[in-house]
Every structure is written in structure tokens, then in C-alpha cells.
A and B are shown apart, each in its own frame.
Chain A
Amino acid sequence: MLLFLEQVLNGLQLGVTLFLMSAGLTLVFGIMNLINLAHGSFYMIGAYVGATVTARSGSFLLGVLAALPAAGLVGMVVEILVLRRLYDREHLDQVLATFGLILFFNELTRILWGRQPLFMDVPDLLSGTVDIIPGAPYPAYRLAVICVGIAVAAFLYVLITRSRIGMQIRAGASNREMAGALGVNIRLLYTLVFGLGALLAGLAGVMAGPILAVEAGMGESILILTFVVIVVGGIGSVRGALVGALLIGMVDTLGRAFLPGVLRLVLPASEADGVGASLAAMSIYIFMAAVLAWRPRGLFPAHG
């Protein structure tokens, strides 16, 4: 039982990181109708800038504060220079161009920072463990990540449902042309939304820095999960992204944790380990297929 609760916390933490990534991606996908494979690059930029500033200044907080605007600015520049030309093109063109951006950013980080992964440590304040469940010490830093994720979710909720810009975003998601006709500056809105999405990806990246290896190409592994999340949640819906991210985080974590053990009840141990590992790796895709069979447009489709 203890182990199960600990795994649920782990699932929550993975889900929260995925939410930060997918919130931005789903907005871009839903409002701009743009497939952006380079979203993982903003995650990587956040991690690299955060790691560098943290190493130079010795302060994790400064690292975070530098990483957010860096990722956001790069996102806006990319939107203005590259993506604006792609809005009216087919999805295939968008996939090709943004895939090119992935290669560009990966190589750029190798040129700027070298091939060697960067080091980023947990800030001293959060380096310990907390006995949130008695008997199962949990890393304080991961708890902090969960808290930040919840705070961001609350902030996005207020921004989207209560603010003027949120109203415009929702209008844009429902009907782009009509929102433009009613006088919303769609171009500016796109740039801002894209910048916000990139900033959130950068936040996810800098927070992942102390847990993961900060290396060129780190964005791609999380990007695939992120796409699964927004498809499950419903493209364009931030609420869907939140629910989808938590579900995917849980399914992935609990699958890895318990599938081999469950299989051992029916299979010999050595086979169960191999089959269990393979099944666990597939579990989120099976889950996605099940959700889509039940609700083909995802759990919370944004467009009516």
C-alpha cells in the first residue's frame, strides 16, 4: 500500500511535468492549427539556459528566472521568423519545417555548449527527502515540482477563464476567422500564445534539469508523451491537457511499477520481466487507443 501511494505521487509528478509541456502545445495546436514538433526544443533551451545560469551564479532561482524569458523569447522569435509562413500550409509542411527546427536547435546547443551533458544540481533547500507518507521518504524537489505544476494550472485557469486575453484565446480556439473579424489582433495573439507555450515548456525544462541529464535532444523523448497527452485530452483544451497529463503520468508510472509484478502471477519470472517491460512501454499508447475509441476527439474537445 505504501509503495502504491509512493508510485501515485511519482505518477502525479510526471503528469505535472507533462502538463507544463502540453498546455502550450495544445493551445498552439488548437488555436493556430499548427503542428509544432519543435516544442521540445524550448524545453531543452529552458534546461540549458537554466543550468548555465545556475552554474555561473550559484543560484537555482536565478537560473529559473533566466530560463523562462529565454525560452519564451526564442519561442516568439521562431513564431515571427518561421511559423508565420506556415499557418496556411498543410500539416505535412509544418511537420517538415518544425522537424528541421529540432535538428537546428539540437546542433546549435552542441555548438554553443559542446557535446557533453551539462550538470545541474537540486537547490540545497530542496535537496533532502520528506516523509510525506511515513516510511517512504520522497524527494523534496519532486514535491516542489508538483506544487509548481499545480500553481501553473491554477494560473492558467484564471488567465483563460477570467482575463480578457483568455477570452480572446478561447474565441480564437472556437472560431479563428470570427474572432479576427470582431477585431481581435490575431497575429499578436498568436505570437503571445506561442511565447507563453514556449515559456511553459522552458519552465518544464529547467525544473527537469536537476532530475534529468541536460543534453542536446532531451526534448524529443518528452515531446512524444506530450503529443499523446494532448490527443487524449482533446486538442486545444487546456483542461484536457491537465486531465490527460495526469492520466498519462499515472498510466505510465503505475504500468512500469506494477505490470511486471502482475504478469509474474501468470508467467515464469524471466519472461514476465521482459514482457512486462515491453507492455509497460506500450501502456500509454494502448490507453490512448482506448480513449480514442470511446471519444474520438479526446476527453475534452475544444471545438464544438
Chain B
Amino acid sequence: MRSHMMTAALAALLASGPVLGADPVKIGMVTTLSTKAGYLGEDIRDGMLLAIQQGDGTLGGVPVELIVEDDGRDPEKGRQIAERFIQRDGVKLMTGIVFSNVAMAVVPKVVRDDVIYLSPNAGPSALAGKGCSENYFNVAWQNDNLHEVTGQYVTDSGFGKVYMLAPNYPAGKDALAGFKRYYKGEVAGEVYTKLGQSDYAAELAALRASKPDAVFFFLPGGMGINFIKQYSQAGLGGQIPLFGPAFSFDERLLKAVGDSAVGVINGSQWNWDLDNSANAQFVEAFRAQYQRTPTLYASQGYDTARLIGSALAATGGDVTDLAALRAALRKADFESVRGSFRFGPNQHPVQDLYVREVVALEGGLTTNKTKAKVFSDHGDAYAADCKM
């Protein structure tokens, strides 16, 4: 089922581009557009489309065609779509996957088939360490990064008794492991909840009883909304400070949480208020195009598209010479909306990491404000295991 087919290349083909008469470069995007998490894929896609639109249907002056299909958050479906992209469309560049479990089903296979995969969101540790590949580039973060930065900040701020909460699945355990890699204080409690749990009354009562001085939680999507609302209703908001990665505090989720999230500190590699010219024009253009503030996912999609653009410009739109294309991608010769960005030895980002604070705006709305830069040029813990 092909849900979207964007032929953005037409205008560029009519004008005389640098690659005359060539077919547009096809970019296969396997992403999650349905299910509750569909807004994540939507934002990544919209970020990419914005970059393509700004180039009048080109990236780096080379006409491109973005083929988007929905994986429904199902690893098996993601694998089938990837297969189809390769067999039917002859795609050489792929991107788009939102979730680590889908990435683990798709990425190892496609990189073996001489396709370059650029991750705009998921960064499982298995692909950063021993399982790394020269055809795999991560343009977002290694999964642990946003937990690590939060752990460092909590330590720096002098908290010494933290209560931790994550869903009972691999990414949840990785999250707490990442946090503890940089958090040096005492653990007041380490609780794993059911994946998809909606009511946290029992956990909140236990949390209150253990008297922590801070709470760290990783509950992506709707689980996070539920938790924050209930945390505030239990009278804990404003009493025990709340920390987490950016995944529960993107600009779209904040609308669903309301004031309950005000004051929450969350770790991120990007925010809309980061002061650099690439970011300023991105945020303005995104708001004009879609009438909403971009999320970190949108920024990652936009960066991924611009990275592809930089590589295509360097190779003149040639995607058959993989070695040249990889070398061009590895340079990361584009202006990232995050400011500093380069690839480490495992082709994962080395970048600055920040904490942001949720602040109230007029009219009952809330947004993220950058609070502090915690890490400069931060890589990941798995790079040493990667032998390329």
C-alpha cells in the first residue's frame, strides 16, 4: 500500500539543473505514520519535505523523489517495505524509521544489500557498537545520549537521591542505564512499568513514600502525558523536580499536557530557540509552512535531508559509486540546525547536548526553553566497539 508518493522533482527537471536529463534520485522513507506514534513520522517527513521544497524539488541541486510508506510501527511490515523499495524502485538511499525495533529489523539487512541508510530518529546500541556498518549513518543520536545528558545535569545540579521510572522493555532499560552512566548519586527506586500503561497511581504513591529529591522518567508518547498529568494531580508537581529525555516533551506533546509540565527539565540535542542562522531560518520556514513549532523529530528530518543534499552535491547526484557517496556523507558538510555536528568513528553524531526547561507561554500554552549546554562534542559509549 503506497500511502504517499511525492514527486517533488518536476519543477527542477524543467529548469536546467546541474544533472541534465537524469532521473531524480529516489530516497526511500520507511516511517511510522499510523498508530498513536504517527505524529513522529509525520514530523520527520515534514522536515524532509521542507528541505526539498526549499531546494525547489532538489537536495544539493540534485532532483530527488521522496517515496514515503507507513510501517505502522511493525518491524515485519517495515522489512517488507524496505525490500520493495530496493527491488521495485532501485532505491540506494533509505531513511525514515522512527522506532528502534523496526530499525533492528530493517537496517542490518538493507546495509548488506549495498543501500545507504540514514537514521533520522532511532539509534539502538546494537547498531552503534559491534553491529555498526559503513553504510549506516545515524543523524539523530545514539539512544542513550538524551538520557546521559539528563544524568549529567542532575548530578551537576547536586541531586543525590533520584527515583527512576521506565517501561519494562529494552529501550526502557537502556534509558535508565544511560542515565546512570552519568548520574553519580543514590538510587531511591528503580521501577519498570508495563509498556503502554496508562495509570500510574500505584507508582506515584510508592514514589512519594520513598522521598526522593528528584525523579527521572523515560515514558515516550502517551505514557509520558499520563504520567506528567497524574504527577501534578498527585500534588507532586513543584515539590519534587522532574527530569527526562526530550521524548516526552516535544512541542506537540506539550499541547496535550498543559501546565502540568511547566518546570520539567529535559535533555535534548536541539531546541527551536538554539541560536544559529540555520536553525532560525528552519524554525521560521517550518512555522510558515505547517503552522506549528517544529519538534526535535522535524529538526532531525530536516538535518537528514540537508546531509543527503551535501553528499549529492559533492558527487554530482551519482548514487552508484557508494564509496564516494559514503565519503561525502561522512564529511557532514552541511549547516546543521543544531550548530555543531560531525560523525564519530561509528558514523554516529558527535554533537553538543543541552537541557531544556518547559516554560509557560501566554494563553495557557507551554514551550521548551534552552537552559544549559551540558556536553560539548559528545559521542556515544559504543563507538569503541565498532570495527569498520
**Chain A residues in contact with chain B, CB under 8 A?**
2-3, 6-7, 10-11, 13-14, 107, 110, 115-119, 121-122, 127-129, 136-137, 139, 141-142, 208, 210-218, 221-222, 253-254, 256-257, 260, 269-270, 273-274, 277-278, 280-281
Given the known interface contacts A214-B256, A217-B35, the answer about A257 and B202 at a Cβ–Cβ threshold of 8 Å is: yes
Binary contact readout B54-95 vs A (1 if CB under 8 angstroms, 0 otherwise)? 000000000000000000000000000000000000000000
* 20 A-B residue pairings within 8 Å (CB atoms): A3-B205, A3-B209, A6-B205, A110-B34, A116-B39, A116-B255, A137-B235, A139-B234, A211-B199, A211-B230, A212-B229, A215-B36, A218-B198, A253-B202, A257-B206, A273-B190, A273-B192, A274-B168, A274-B173, A277-B191
One of B203, B225, B233 near A122 (C-beta < 8 A): B233
Bound-state Cα–Cα, A117 to B230, Å: 16
Across-interface contacts of A128 in B (CB, < 8 A): 235
Bound-state Cα–Cα, A89 to B230, Å: 43
Bound-state Cα–Cα, A121 to B36, Å: 20
- B293: CB under 8 A from chain A? no
Across-interface contacts of B226 in A (CB, < 8 A): 211-213
Are the CB atoms of B222 and A215 closer together than 8 Å?
A: yes
Are the CB atoms of A221 and B198 closer together than 8 Å?
A: yes
One of A10, A14, A129 near B205 (C-beta < 8 A): A10
- B316: CB under 8 A from chain A? no
Given the known interface contacts A139-B233, A273-B192, the answer about A119 and B258 at a Cβ–Cβ threshold of 8 Å is: yes
**Chain B residues in contact with chain A, CB under 8 A?**
34-36, 38-39, 42, 168, 173, 190-194, 196-199, 201-203, 205-206, 208-209, 221-223, 225-226, 229-230, 233-235, 252-253, 255-259
Are the CB atoms of B202 and A256 closer together than 8 Å?
A: yes
Bound-state Cα–Cα, A277 to B36, Å: 24
Residue of A nearest to B176 (CB): A273
Across-interface contacts of B173 in A (CB, < 8 A): 274
Given the known interface contacts A127-B233, A137-B235, A281-B168, the answer about A117 and B196 at a Cβ–Cβ threshold of 8 Å is: no
Across-interface contacts of A277 in B (CB, < 8 A): 168, 191-194
Across-interface contacts of B201 in A (CB, < 8 A): 10, 13-14, 142, 253
Please give me the 8 A-B residue pairs with the lowest Cβ-Cβ distance, nearest first.
Answer: A213-B225, A10-B201, A213-B222, A277-B192, A117-B256, A115-B39, A257-B202, A129-B235
Across-interface contacts of A13 in B (CB, < 8 A): 201
Given the known interface contacts A10-B201, A137-B235, A281-B168, the answer about A256 and B255 at a Cβ–Cβ threshold of 8 Å is: no
Across-interface contacts of A118 in B (CB, < 8 A): 256
Are the CB atoms of B206 and A3 closer together than 8 Å?
A: yes
Across-interface contacts of B229 in A (CB, < 8 A): 210-213
Across-interface contacts of A3 in B (CB, < 8 A): 205-206, 209
Bound-state Cα–Cα, A214 to B168, Å: 23
Across-interface contacts of A274 in B (CB, < 8 A): 168, 173, 192
Across-interface contacts of A115 in B (CB, < 8 A): 38-39, 42
Residue of A nearest to B365 (CB): A119
Across-interface contacts of B252 in A (CB, < 8 A): 116
Are the CB atoms of A117 and B253 closer together than 8 Å?
A: yes
| Chain B interface main SS type | helix
Bound-state Cα–Cα, A215 to B253, Å: 11
Could you tell me the distance in whole angstroms from the C-beta of A147 to the nearest C-beta in chain B? 16
Bound-state Cα–Cα, A110 to B35, Å: 9
One of B34, B193, B225 near A256 (C-beta < 8 A): B193
Are the CB atoms of B235 and A217 closer together than 8 Å?
A: no
Could you tell me the distance in whole angstroms from the C-beta of A58 to the nearest C-beta in chain B? 11
Bound-state Cα–Cα, A100 to B132, Å: 41
Given the known interface contacts A121-B258, A214-B256, the answer about A137 and B202 at a Cβ–Cβ threshold of 8 Å is: no
Residue of A nearest to B164 (CB): A273
Are the CB atoms of A278 and B225 closer together than 8 Å?
A: no
Q: Which one of B42, B173, B205 has the greatest number of beta carbons of chain A within 10 Å?
A: B205
Residue of A nearest to B222 (CB): A213
A116-B256, A121-B258, A281-B194 provided; 11 other pairs, C-beta below 8 A?
A6-B205, A117-B36, A127-B233, A139-B234, A213-B225, A213-B229, A215-B256, A218-B222, A256-B202, A274-B192, A278-B168
Bound-state Cα–Cα, A107 to B35, Å: 9
Residue of A nearest to B42 (CB): A115
Across-interface contacts of B206 in A (CB, < 8 A): 3, 257
Are the CB atoms of B230 and A217 closer together than 8 Å?
A: no
Residue of A nearest to B254 (CB): A119
Bound-state Cα–Cα, A269 to B186, Å: 14
Could you tell me the distance in whole angstroms from the C-beta of A245 to the nearest C-beta in chain B? 14
Could you tell me the distance in whole angstroms from the C-beta of B286 to the nearest C-beta in chain A? 16
Bound-state Cα–Cα, A25 to B223, Å: 25
Could you tell me the distance in whole angstroms from the C-beta of A258 to the nearest C-beta in chain B? 9
Bound-state Cα–Cα, A214 to B255, Å: 11
Are the CB atoms of B193 and A137 closer together than 8 Å?
A: no
Could you tell me the distance in whole angstroms from the C-beta of A248 to the nearest C-beta in chain B? 12
Across-interface contacts of A212 in B (CB, < 8 A): 198-199, 222, 225-226, 229
